[in-house]
Structure 1
Amino acid sequence: MSTPSFDPVSLKPSDEVAGWRVLSRWRQDAFSITWAVERAGVRRLLRIALLPRGSAEAQHLEEYLEREAGALRLVRHPCIIRLHAEGRWPDPVHGFRYLLLDYAENTTLKDAKRRGMNPKQTVAMFSKLAQVIGAMRRVRLNHGSIQTDNILVRPNGQPLLIDFSRSDWPGNPYPPLIQTATGFGRLEDLFQDSTPDPSIPSKRYSS
């Protein structure tokens, strides 16, 4: 398979990429596409740049993935998606940049809010997210885009923060073009459509 003939958007179930079998399309944005993949019974997410290495436009797209990889090397937390491997495909030098990440169902906090969250669930989610923000603060990492679409809800109710492609930190070699002082205003604003609960403190958090 040569690099020009490989199209990350046109993959089909059972195609193989970097030793992983494609299962289904998971999510796509302006610079990458993410596929659910499997090998030996283990599932992962494979996030691939839309262009191969070699042009100014490709470099711009790759910087989003480079920021994500850098951020995930910097911080580890059970509620932050984990980077397992990275590389290029199909050519190790000129191929498409990819990141191999934890697998998770694509159920977002927005979906959970739409279905309805009771006060106990809201407080538990708020508490876990506050811990995640604390872990990022300790390494001076700003996520840059904390919103309900970038917080997944696992089957056990635990949150999973994803998409660090707009993140920033001291020494970041690929700082985002648009600097964000915070990823959101107040943490509780993420739950404003959920059942209010007086036990949620009114406190500002930066991401």
Structure 2
Amino acid sequence: MGRWRVVEQLGVGGQGAVYRVEDIDRPGDFYALKLALYARDGRAEREVALMMTRAAHPHVVRFHGCARWPHPRKGWLGFVMDWVPGLALDVWAEKDGTTFRQLATVGATMARTLGELHDRGVLHRDLKPEHILIRESDGQPVLLDFGVAWYEGAAPLTTGPLPPATLFQLSPEAVSFLWRSSERPGTHYAFQSTDDLYALGICLYRATTGHYPFSEWLPLDMLQLAIVHVQPLAPVLVNPRVPRALSDVIVRLLAKNPAERYPSGAALDAALVAALSNEDAAWDASIFEWEEVPPTQEGGTPERHLLRPPRPKPSWTAPPPAPVQVERQSHGFRSLVLATAVLLLLLPMARVPPVAPGVHAPDEEWVTDVRVDPEPSRYEQAPLPARNQKLAPCTEGLEVELSGACWLSLRQRPPECPRQTVTYKGQCLLPVPKSRPVPTSVDGGTPDAK
């Protein structure tokens, strides 16, 4: 494509595909090329304009130029950026040796970066762990993918009430607006800087606990209800290794009321820096516990396996809407209330008051104020799906369904499992990859949109 030789595909999102490319004029110099999936795509053109101007920042992937393919004027728009070798935030956090101090430092840098972008009138609007890469060369975070970003003066492109978004990263106020949108057709949600900071809180929760506050596998209606009505467990209750000060910051980031969150990226940066000043030894501990597994063959090297905490079960912070109000709502809202009854059966009924940042409650209170299932044996915990793994429904008679994903049960049995597999209930399970890439962000659409 022009002066760029395509080497390999790196990923596909809702609006574009990303490739690693080599500069033909300078062999050995590699970059990332993002190519729009649709010709004359207004979002791609807006992203190029943004990357060239207001989004230029030391912690934002750097822009190098653009071109069209296959026709230089009528083809699909593509633009070239730095290729950043490194790991996504959640994957990096699960790397052996990554500490809470390193994570909090990365979080502070991202908070400061977002704050500076917000001051320029730029909103990312699709922040998630895979859009924060930890650069391999220096450990610095780099923010990626401004495909659905917005800036002051940008042409509006959203057709539904919400911009394209990753559903389990939406803020409570965005979901509440979506519910009300059927009463006001044609209205669009005014995304705020607090939405970006809430999404950063989701990213930090995932990095510190190994889980999202609300399972990404929940049905859409139930996920929306959880975001609005359910208080996630504090990270320290999910992973006791988390420093209390860091847990407090994340709890405040995920407050249901945006006015209770940090007002700006600069304020969040200051809070994380202050938390880091604590001399608690937990800051320099590995984020997750690891176990050493003996080698399967004599003379082999022992392997270290991550022990992810069990998935949290949060509790309701507010009762579901009263039936008398439901009768006056749309069919879409009634379906949400019906899902409420199902969610109430799945979640503990104890009401958990939010833990205010800076309040150091005794450990006994943190344990007894919540209801959680007994911790399962670490060896019997169902494996979590891998990235790009095929989700249920699975092929009957061939694949095994666990944690909402598909696995192949191999003939080998523990301890003879290959490296790419996981061990569960005496089986070696191999993740089944997706047959084709799927969009990572979807249009929020209407309340009934799936």
- TM-score interval (norm. to shorter): 0.7 to 0.9
For the Cα contact (< 8 Å) 2:15–2:147, is it kept in 1? no
Q: State the match for 1:19 in structure 2.
A: 3
What is the CA–CA distance in structure 2 between the aligned matches of 1:101 and 1:186, rounded to whole Å? 24
For the Cα contact (< 8 Å) 1:125–1:159, is it kept in 2? yes
Matches within 5 A, 1:1-12: none
Let me know the Cα RMSD of the aligned residues.
2.3
What is the one-letter code of the residue matched to 2:85? E
Q: State the match for 1:133 in structure 2.
A: 114
Which residue, out of 17, 31, 42, partners 1:44?
31
Q: 1:110 to 1:46 in 2, by over 3 A?
A: same
C-alpha deviation, 1:80, in angstroms: 0.3
C-alpha deviation, 1:184, in angstroms: 4.6
Are residues 1:143 and 2:124 paired?
yes
Q: State the match for 1:4 in structure 2.
A: none
For the Cα contact (< 8 Å) 2:10–2:19, is it kept in 1? yes
What is the CA–CA distance in structure 1 between the aligned matches of 2:263 and 2:130, rounded to whole Å? 18
What is the CA–CA distance in structure 2 between the aligned matches of 1:75 and 1:98, rounded to whole Å? 17
> What TM-score results when the alignment is normalised by the length of structure 1?
0.78
Which residue, out of 259, 262, 275, partners 1:204?
262
For the Cα contact (< 8 Å) 2:128–2:199, is it kept in 1? no
Which residue, out of 107, 113, 128, partners 2:93?
113
What is the CA–CA distance in structure 1 between the aligned matches of 2:204 and 2:6, rounded to whole Å? 34
What is the CA–CA distance in structure 2 between the aligned matches of 1:176 and 1:115, rounded to whole Å? 37
Q: 1:150 to 1:107 in 2, by over 3 A?
A: same
Which residue, out of 38, 44, 54, partners 1:74?
54
What is the one-letter code of the residue matched to 1:36? R
CA shift digits 1:14-53 (9 cap, x unpaired) = xxx121111111111232211100111221111112243x
What is the CA–CA distance in structure 2 between the aligned matches of 1:50 and 1:186, rounded to whole Å? 26
Q: Percent identity?
A: 21
User: Quick check: 111-120 or 17-26, which moved more?
Assistant: 111-120
Aligned residues: 183
Q: State the match for 2:104 in structure 1.
A: 123
Q: State the match for 1:8 in structure 2.
A: none
Aligned residue for 2:109, secondary structure, equals helix
What is the CA–CA distance in structure 1 between the aligned matches of 2:35 and 2:154, rounded to whole Å? 21
What is the CA–CA distance in structure 2 between the aligned matches of 1:44 and 1:80, rounded to whole Å? 14
CA shift digits 1:76-104 (9 cap, x unpaired) = 21110111101212322111111111111
Unaligned runs of 5+ in 2: 164-188, 209-240, 253-260, 266-450
Q: State the match for 1:104 in structure 2.
A: 84
> What TM-score results when the alignment is normalised by the length of structure 2?
0.38
What is the CA–CA distance in structure 1 between the aligned matches of 2:148 and 2:264, rounded to whole Å? 14
What is the one-letter code of the residue matched to 1:109? L
C-alpha deviation, 1:187, in angstroms: 3.5
What is the CA–CA distance in structure 1 between the aligned matches of 2:37 and 2:264, rounded to whole Å? 31
For the Cα contact (< 8 Å) 1:22–1:37, is it kept in 2? yes
What is the CA–CA distance in structure 1 between the aligned matches of 2:156 and 2:142, rounded to whole Å? 24
For the Cα contact (< 8 Å) 1:26–1:106, is it kept in 2? no
More relative contact order, 1 or 2 (CA 8 Å, 6+ apart):
1
